[in-house]
Structure 1
Amino acid sequence: MEPTKTTDFAGLAAELRISVARLSRRLRRQAGSELSLTQFSTLATLGKHGEMTPRALAEHEHVKPPSMTRTVASLESAGLVARRAHPTDGRQVVLALTDSGRSLLVEHRRLKEAWLAQRLAELTPGERAALEQAAPVLDKLSRS
């Protein structure tokens, strides 16, 4: 689809970038966490994909292993992540969420979703319908 008078891709890109960034910041504030975005993303990855090696976690998060080592160390000292021996390779360890880490993830999601549900309730039915149609498209963009 080529840009037309009614389709300004650069303008739409700028509007989406600003709106999505603002919404993301608002959602992060709702959880009131002391965790950095990197720390929370690391917890969320372990929560979604299960235990993994530090190297696999670094690759998944698109960071260098030394950066992931620091992130994991801080999460481990907070009691949110635990290490255990790799089941087949004694030279490696695997990382997993602790019960505290899992509980923190669940509570953060609950707080964010409650805030967002309240904001959605304040919209008109037409606005909610537009967002319902846009959600799969935004998801597609986020995965590209």
Structure 2
Amino acid sequence: MRLSRRLRQERTETELSGSQFSTLGWISTEGPLTIGRLAELERVTAPSMNRTVNCLVDAGYATRTASPDDGRKVIVSATEAGETIVLETRRRRDAWLAKRFAALTPAERETLAEATTILRRLTDQ
């Protein structure tokens, strides 16, 4: 939790909440997604994700368009401003982590790599 909190401090200066930033990150990484898919990825309900997307659209970080295949579905895409926030935040976090990893021994880095695999398996269940 402390590491997560510390990494959040490396975000760009925006008014985005953690869930809003996470959603924007999914859109940036995966490309345009439906509200339903975003809800699955974030493990929230579709109405909850709709509120999150509304905030991103209102802030100018995402856009909504009707699906060409199904007019009932909405496709959410990141705007240039949204992409910029995600990329800058990732750059800052990577720089912060790289500096700390450089101070670790090879054995400590190997232990962290193993722990990462285990933690990823736990969160994907």
Q: Distance in 1 between matches of 2:19 and 2:35?
A: 14
1:112 paired with 2:93, answer yes
SS state at 1:84 partner: strand
Residue type of the alignment partner of 1:102: E
Tell me the residue number matched to 1:12. none
Three-state SS of the structure 2 residue aligned to 1:89 is coil
Does 1:41 pair with 2:29?
A: no
Where do 5+ consecutive residues of structure 1 fail to align? 1-20
Question: Are 1:94 and 2:65 counterparts?
Answer: no
1:57 positional shift: 1.8
Alignment gaps of 5+ in structure 2: none
1:62 corresponding residue in structure 2? 43
Percentage identity across paired residues of the two chains: 47
How many residues were matched structurally?
124
Which entry has the higher C-alpha Rg, 1 or 2? Answer: 1
1:29 aligned partner: 9
For the aligned residue pairs, the C-alpha RMSD in angstroms reads 1.7
Distance between the aligned counterparts of 1:62 and 1:133, measured in 2? Answer: 25
Q: Which moved more, 1:70-79 or 1:123-132?
A: 123-132
Moved beyond 3 Å, runs of 4+: none
* Deviation, structure 1 residue 43: 0.8
Counterpart residue number, 1:138: 119
Question: Which stretch shows the higher mean deviation, 46-55 or 78-87?
Answer: 46-55
Aligned amino acid, residue 66 of structure 1: P
How many Å separate the matches in 1 of 2:37 and 2:55?
18
